[in-house]
Chains A and B, each alone.
Chain A
Amino acid sequence: MMMRLLRVDFLKIKRKGLWLLTVLGPFGVVALQMVNYGVRKDYLLQQSENDWLYYIEYISNFTHLAIVLGIVILTSFIASIENETNAWKQLIALPVSKLSVYLSKFTVITILLFISSVLLLLFSYSYGLYLDLGEEIPYITLLKYSFFPFLAALPVLALQLWIATVSHNQAIPVTVGVIGVILAYSAFTLPDWMIWKWPSLINGWDKPYINALLGLSVGILLYVIGMFDFKRRDVK
C-alpha cells in the first residue's frame, strides 16, 4: 500500500513546481557563491588558509536558510494539493489507512529534500573543482555539510507538515513558516534548543553531528505526534 500511495503522491505533484524547487534550492545556494567567488575570488582565496573549507563554510551559510524555506514551501504545496478542493475526504474514503496517507506525504517531501541534498553535494563539489581550490579535497566535510542540514531540518519538516495538513486555515502554516525562516536567518543568536537553529549546524560544542542526531530523533518524534494527531481528527 505504501508504494502505491507514494506513486500516487508523485503523480499528484506533477506540474506543481515541486521538482523545480528541488533543483532550484541547491542551485541557488551554490549560485550565490558563483557570484561571490566570481566577483572577488582572489581576495577570498587570500583570506583563507584552507580554500576548500573556507568555500564550504560560505556555502553552508545559506544552506540552512534555503532548506527551511524549501520545507515551508514544499509542505504547504503538498498540503494545498489536497486542500484546494478538499480532496482529503475523497482520499480517506478510499480503502487506505490514514497513517499511511500521512506517511506517504512525509516520505515524498523527505525524498525531494534528500535529492536536494545530493544536488547540493554535486553542485558545490563541481564548482569547488572549477575554482581549483587545491588537491586536498575534504570529502567528509563536503558530505557532512550537504546531508547534516537535511537531517537537522527534519523537526521543522515534521512540524510544518503537521500544521499544514490539520489546519483549516492555511494562513497558520504560512505564518509559522515565515517565523521559522526568520528564526533560521538569525540562527547564530538562537539558543541551542530551538529546532530552527539546528540546520545551521551551529552549536555550543562545535560538533555538527549533534545537530544531525538531534534532528533525526526529534524529527521522528514530531512526525509520530503529527501522524497520530492527523489520524485522530475528523477529516476536513
Chain B
Amino acid sequence: MEYIVETKNLTKRFGKEQAVSGLEMKIPKGEIYGFLGPNGAGKTTTIRMLLGLMRPTSGSVHIFQKDLRKERIRILNKVGSLVENPSYYPHLTAGENLEALRKIIGVPKTRIKEVLKIVRLEDVANKKVKGFSMGMKQRLGIAASLLNNPELLILDEPTNGLDPSGIIEIRQLIQRLPHDYGMTVIISSHLLSEIDQMATTVGVVSKGKMIFQDSIEEMRKFAKQKVVLKVSDSESAWRALLARGMRADWDEKNITLLNQSDENVATAVKYLVKDGFSIYRVEEEKKSLEDVFLQMTKEERLV
C-alpha cells in the first residue's frame, strides 16, 4: 500500500519527557484521518514534526513517499496546514494576510478570492484581522491552509473556539475536500464525537503512543454507546425484560440495554409497554474518550 503519510518510530523528547514515542502513522490517499487523543497526548508535537517545524529525536517522516528530512521544501509545496491557534498579522487585512503567504507560495492572485469564498470571508477581505471573532480567525487560518491547493491538508484542532454553527460549517467543508479536490486530510481533535462525524480512518494517541489505528468502523466498535431506559418501577421492569429473554442491566435506578441495535431497543420498548410500565426516557449515554481508551488498552489493541 502506498501511503501519503508514513512515519517510522517517530519520537520526540523534551528533556526527560517523551512527548511522542515510536509513532507509526500510516495514512492512505484520500482519507480523512482523525488524529484523536486527549490534551497533552502529543498530537500537536506529531503534527509539528510532520511539517518540519520540529526535529524528531528519532524516527523518520515520509510524505508523498519522500523523506521529509531531504525534500522538505518540495513536500511542503503540496501541504497546507493550520497548527494549534491560528496565526495571523492583526494589523493587516484578511486579504493582505493571505497575500503575505501567496507571494511566497507563488499561486495566482485570484486564488485569494477563491479561498476567502470557500470559508465565506469574502465580505471582510478588506477589514483588519484585529477585529475578527475567534471563528473568523479560524476560518482565515483554514483559507490560508488551502491557498496552495494542497494534496495533503493538516488541521490541528480546527474547530477549537468555534460556536456550534461554525463547527458544523467547518465539518461540512472538510468532508467535501477529499471528494472535490482529491485531498488527503489529517484532522486532530480531543473530541471523540468530532472525529466520529468526520473521519474515515482513525489514529488514537495516548501519552505519545499510538494505541489504535484503523478504519472508523473498527473504532466505532469500541465507542459503542449505551442505551439507558428510565421507567416506572424499574426493578420489576428489568425483571420483566429478563423474563422475556432480553439482555439488560439494572443499577437501582435505570435499565441499560446491552444490545443497542435499533430493533433491540424497539423490542424492549414494546415489551415494557405491553407489560404496563411507563417509559419516561430512552437515552443514549455517550461514552467518553477515557472510556474508549480504557477499553482499547484493556483489549490490548496495540498497533
Residues of chain A at the chain B interface (Cβ within 8 Å): 1, 4-5, 7-8, 11-12, 14-16, 81, 84-97, 234-235
Contacts and interface: CB of A to CB of B under 8 A. Distances in A.
Interface stretch (B1-9, B86-94, B187-195): B86-94
B41 to A, nearest CB: 19
A4 B52 contact: no
16 contacts: A4-B104, A14-B96, A15-B92, A16-B91, A85-B87, A86-B87, A87-B87, A89-B51, A89-B53, A90-B141, A93-B51, A93-B79, A93-B81, A96-B73, A96-B104, A97-B73
Contacts of A5: 104
Given A8-B104, A96-B104, 15 more contacts: A7-B103, A8-B103, A11-B99, A14-B96, A85-B85, A85-B86, A85-B88, A85-B90, A87-B87, A87-B88, A89-B51, A90-B87, A91-B104, A95-B74, A96-B73
B120 interface: no
A91 B156 CA distance: 16
A11 B104 contact: no
Contacts of A85: 85-90
Contacts of B99: 11
B76 interface: yes
A93 B52 contact: yes
Contact of A95 (B54, B76, B85, B90): B76
B55 interface: yes
Contacts of B87: 85-91
Given A8-B100, A96-B73, A97-B73, A89 B83 contact: yes
Contact of B83 (A11, A14, A90, A97): A90
A79 B52 CA distance: 21
Nearest to A17: B91
Contacts of B73: 95-97
A15 B92 CA distance: 8
B227 to A, nearest CB: 44
A84 B55 CA distance: 23
A42 B199 CA distance: 83
Contact of A12 (B74, B76, B100): B100
B84 A94 contact: no
Contact of A15 (B74, B91, B100, B104): B91
Nearest to A101: B104
Nearest to B102: A8
* CB-CB nearest 8 A-B residue pairs: A87-B87, A90-B87, A235-B53, A95-B76, A234-B54, A93-B51, A95-B77, A95-B73
Most buried by B among A5, A14, A85: A85
B144 interface: yes
B161 interface: no
Given A89-B84, A95-B77, A81 B100 contact: no
Interface string B151-182: 00000000000000000000000000000000
Given A11-B99, A85-B90, A235-B48, A94 B83 contact: no
Contacts of A84: 89-90
Contacts of A4: 103-104, 106
Contacts of A1: 104
B101 A86 contact: no
B105 interface: yes
Contact of A81 (B54, B89, B96, B101): B89
Contacts of A96: 73, 104
B92 to A, nearest CB: 7
Contacts of B51: 89, 93
A86 B104 contact: no
Contact of B101 (A89, A94, A234): A94
A86 B48 contact: no
Nearest to A6: B103
A5 B102 CA distance: 11
A38 to B, nearest CB: 37
Nearest to A15: B91
Nearest to B101: A94
Candidate in B73, B81, B91, B105 with the most chain A CB atoms within 10 angstroms: B91
A12 B53 CA distance: 22
Given A85-B89, A85-B90, A234 B53 contact: yes
Interface in B56-96: 73-74, 76-77, 79, 81, 83-92, 96
Contacts of B96: 11, 14
Contacts of A235: 48, 53-54
A235 B50 CA distance: 13
B124 to A, nearest CB: 17
